Amino acid sequence: MEMNELVALDVGTVKGLILMLVIRKRKLSVAACDAILDLSTTLIGRNKTREETETKNQNNTGEKEQTTVKKKNKKEHAAETATEKERS
């Protein structure tokens, strides 16, 4: 088994590299990008990188939906409270 395949099988490493892509320190994000490109030379590396990226995107979407629901609930609660105060 090739070294890139062994690294790709370590889910924690792949997740870490993906997270490092958005770091504002250019040298770190470039290094992470280079490492991901190296992993992508193998089928296993491409598949693992794709899987982890999809998982991260799904998690981000879920967090955004939860935040939207919380904001909506706060607005509804505020409107109900205002209505109750007007009735009093």
Q: How confident is the model at residue 67 (pLDDT cuts 50, 70, 90)?
A: low
pTM of the model: 0.59
pLDDT of residue 71: 65
Q: Is 74 or 63 the better-scoring residue by pLDDT?
A: 74
Type of residue at 70: K
Task: State residue 65's pLDDT score.
Answer: 59
Burial of 38 (0-12, 13-18, 19+ CB in 10 A): middle
- The alpha-carbon radius of gyration of the chain (Å, integer) is 21
pLDDT band at 69 (very low <50, low <70, confident <90, very high): low
| Residue listed under structure tokens 């899987």 | 51
